A and B are shown apart, each in its own frame.
Chain A
Amino acid sequence: MAEKSQAVATIEAVWRMEAARVVATLARYTGDLGLAEELAQDALVAALEQWPAEGVPARPGGWLTAVGKRRAVDYFRRAETLRRKVGELGRELEIDGQGYEIDLDALDSDAAIDDDLLRLVFTACHPVLSAEARVALTLRVLGGLSTPEIARAFLISESTAAQRIVRAKRTLADAGIVFEAPDGAERRRRLESVLEVVYLIFNEGYAATAGDDWLRPGLCEEALRLGRVLVGLMPDEPEVHALVALMEIQDSRRHARTDPDGEPVLLLDQDRAKWDWSQIERGLKALARADEAFAARADGDTRSGDRPTEPGAYHLQAALAACHARARNAEATDWRLIADLYDRLVQQTRSPVVELNRAVAVGMAEGPAAGLEVTDALVGLRAMQGYHLLPSVRGDLLVRLGRHTEARSEFERAAELTANTRERALLLARAAACDASAAESES
C-alpha cells in the first residue's frame, strides 16, 4: 500500500516536471490546446495505471507524449473528417497496434519542444481570455497543477476551477485561436498579457491571508517558477527578467511583512534582517540581466524599427524594489533615485496611484513641501476621490510641515474612506494626535 502511494507520488512529481512539455508537443500535433490538454490527462491516467506495476520509464516525458499522440490518432480516426491528419501522425509514430511501443529516439528535439512551450505560453495567456481564465489555464497547462490544487490556491470550489478551465479552452476554440507564438511588435504586445498572468498569480499569493497559507500551494513560488521558465524560453526579453527580479525582491520580504500579531509592517519599518538576502541577491542578478537585455535591444534590434528608449514598467518597478533592497537600513534609502524612477513609471502608466507614490518619495528626497505640491495635482482627480491613501499621505506631509489643523482634517477624511476598521482606528488616532499638537503650538 505504502509502495503504491509512493509510486503515485512519483508520477505526480513527474507530471509536474513534464506536463507543460507534453501538452505543448501535443498541441502542436493537434493544433488544439484544449484537445491537447485532454489527451495529456489521458496519458497521465495511463501512467497511473501502468507505472506503479512497471516502473517509471527511462524517459517519462517521452512516454507520456507518445501515449498522448496515440490517443490523438485514435481521436482523429474517430473524426472521419480529419483522415489526412491521421496519415501524418500514423507515419510518425509507427504504431504497433497494441501497446505504446514507440521509437523514443524519433521524439522531438529540445529546441522544437522549447518552441512548442513558447506557443503554449502565448496561447494559454491569450488576451481573448479573461485574466481569471488565463491564470487558471496557465497554472494547469504550464505549471502542471491539478484542478483541486488550483481550487485550493484560489479558495474556490473544484467545480468552479474546472469550469474556468473548460470555459477557457472553449473560448480559445470558439475564437479560432491558432497555436502559435507571435513575432516582433505583436510579440511585445502579447508578452504583456503573459507577464500580467504571472504577476497576478504572484500577487494572489502575496496578498493571501497568511493564516490560510498552509492550505495553499505557495502561489508566489509558483509564479516565480513560471517566471524562471519564461526566462529560459525568452532570454532576450528584458521585461521577463525584470518581472522575475521584481517578484524575487518583493518575496524576499515575506517574513518581515507581518508582525507577530499578523498585522502588516510597512516597508520602512520592517526588520531588514528578516529579509531573505539570498533571494535579494537572485533578484538583483535578474535585474542585472534585465539591464543587459535592455541594453542589447536598445543597441541592436533595428529589424522591427522600434528600439526601446525607456525600460518597461516591470523593469522600472524592479529597479524601485532594488533601491530598497540595496539600502541596509531605511535611512540609507536613495529617495532621489526612487522619485526619479517613479517619475519615469508615471510617464508609462499614467497612474495617479503611482504619482502618489512619487509624492511620498519626493517628500522624502526634497522635503514635505515638495511632496505636498505633487499631491495637490491629484486632489481634484475623479479617480482619486474615494482613495483613502491620498488624504493619508497628505496628512503625513502636513504633520511634517507643522500644519496640524489641516493634517487633522486629512486624517479624518482618510478614516472616512477606508474600509478597514483597524486602519480607521489608526487614522483617527493620528487625527486626535494632531489636535494635541495643534493645541500645543497655539498655546
Chain B
Amino acid sequence: MPKFMVIMPGDTQSEAGIIPPPELFAEMNAYNDELTKAGVLLTAEGLKPTSAGARVRFDDDERRTVIDGPFTESKEIIAGYWMLQASSLEEVLEWVKRAPLSGGVTLQVRPLYEMDDFGPEFNAKLREAEQQLRE
C-alpha cells in the first residue's frame, strides 16, 4: 500500500512561530483523529520556524557551507507534514480534501518511492524455520 507525504507550506504566521488559535488547533486534532481511526495516518509533524533551523550547501570542492535560518525564499518553507498510507492516490486525495483548511492554502501530495519501484521483488520463499523462529 503506497505511502504519501502531504506537505503543508509555511506562511508569515508559521514563520513567526505563532501557534494557531485553539479552535483551529482543535479542528486539526479532530481531523488527525479521523485519519488515525481510519488507519491511514502514520505520522503528523509540525516544523518550527526556519529561524530555528539552518541549511547546508554542498559545493564541488567538498566545501560545506552552513547557512543559518530564517530562509528567505518563501517557497522553500515547509510548516509541517503528514505521512499517510492508503490504497491509492485517489484515496489520499479524498482524505486530504477533508482537512480543515481554507484561504487558498495549497497542500502538496507526494507519493513515496517504494522498494517495488526499483525492479521486481526478489523471488523469496520463506522457510518454516524463519516463520517459527523469527523472534
Smallest CB-CB A-B distances: 9 pairs: A232-B37, A228-B39, A258-B124, A13-B90, A225-B39, A13-B91, A211-B123, A221-B1, A262-B123
Size range of the chain A interface in the assembly? 35 or more
Q: How far is the CA of A196 from the CA of B37 in the complex (A)?
A: 20
Task: Encode contact with A along B103-135: 1 for CB under 8 Å, 0 otherwise.
Answer: 000000000000110001111111111111111
Contact: B39 with A357, CB < 8 Å?
no
Chain A residue nearest to B129 in the complex (CB)? A389
Binds B, one of A45-53, A131-139, A263-271, A435-443: A263-271
Interface string of A415-434 (1 = CB under 8 A from B): 00010101100000000000
Q: Select from chain A the residue with minimum beta-carbon distance to B3.
A: A221
The yes or no answer to A9 lying at the interface (CB within 8 A) is: yes
CA distance A257 to B33 in the complex (A): 33
Whether B129 lies near A10 (C-beta < 8 A) is no
Closest Cβ of chain A to B110, distance in Å, is 16
Bound state CA distance, A392 and B130, in angstroms? Answer: 13
- Is A229's beta carbon under 8 Å from chain B? yes
Residues of chain A with a CB closer than 8 A to B121's CB: 210-211, 213-214
- Asked if B31 is an interface residue, CB under 8 A from chain A, the answer is no
Contact B90 A12 (CB under 8 A): yes
For residue A282, CB closer than 8 A to chain B, the reply is: yes
- B-side binding surface: helix, strand, loop or mixed? mixed
A contact residues around B133 at 8 Å (CB): 266-267, 356-357, 360, 389
Contacts of A55 in B (CB 8 A): none
Q: Is the CB of B85 within 8 A of A207?
A: no
Tell me whether A229 and B39 are in contact (CB under 8 A): yes
Decide: A258 and B134 in contact? CB cutoff 8 A. no
Q: Chain B contacts of A320 at CB under 8 A? A: 135
- Check B23 for interface membership: any CB of A closer than 8 A: no
A365 at the interface (CB under 8 A from B): no
Residues of B within 8 A of A266 (CB): 129-130, 133-134
Contact of B94 among A17, A257, A389 (CB under 8 A): A17
With both chains docked as a complex, state the minimum distance between the C-beta of A378 and any C-beta of chain B, in angstroms.
Answer: 13
A228 and B36 contacting across the interface, CB-CB below 8 Å: yes
Which of A56, A264, A420 is most buried by chain B, counting CB atoms within 10 A of its CB?
A264
Against B, the Cβ 8 Å flags (1 = close, 0 = not) of A162-192 are 0000000000000000000000000000000
A207 surroundings in chain B (CB, below 8 A): 126, 131
Structural contact, B127 and A16, CB atoms closer than 8 A: no
Quick check: A263 and B124 within 8 Å, CB to CB? Answer: yes
Q: Interface size of B by Cβ–Cβ distance < 8 Å?
A: 37
Residues from chain A with a CB closer than 8 A to the CB of B93 are: 10, 13
CA distance A222 to B39 in the complex (A): 9
Chain B interface (Cβ < 8 Å from any Cβ of A) = 1, 33, 36-43, 85-88, 90-91, 93-95, 115-116, 120-135
A68 at the interface (CB under 8 A from B): no
Q: How far is the CB of A180 from chain B (nearest CB, A)?
A: 20
Complex contact A224–B39 (CB within 8 A): yes
User: Would you give the 0/1 interface string for A248-291, flagging 1 where the beta carbon is closer than 8 Å to chain B?
Assistant: 00100011011111111011000000000010001000000000
Q: Please tell me if A337 contacts chain B, counting CB pairs below 8 Å.
A: no
Q: A210-B124, A225-B85, A282-B42 are in contact. Are A324 and B135 (CB under 8 A)?
A: yes
Query: Known contacts A13-B93, A16-B91: does B39 contact A227 (CB below 8 Å)?
Result: yes
A9 touches B39 (CB 8 A): no
9 contacts between A and B (CB under 8 A): A13-B88, A14-B94, A211-B122, A222-B1, A233-B37, A257-B126, A266-B133, A321-B135, A357-B132
Q: Which of A366-416 touch B at CB < 8 Å?
A: 389, 392
Does any Cβ of B come within 8 Å of A200's Cβ? no
- Contacts of B132 on A, CB cut-off 8 Å? 353, 357, 389
**CA of A263 to CA of B120, assembled, Å:** 15
A291 to B135, CA, bound (A): 20
Q: Which residue of A lies closest to B30 (CB)?
A: A110
Q: Which residue of B lies closest to A353 (CB)?
A: B132
> A211 touching B124 by the CB < 8 A rule?
yes
Q: Is B86 a contact partner of A209 (Cβ separation < 8 A)?
A: no
Complexed CA–CA distance, A60 and B33 (Å): 19
* B43 neighbours in A (Cβ, 8 Å): 278, 282
CB distance from A326 to the nearest CB of B (A): 13
Closest A residue to B131 by beta carbon equals A207
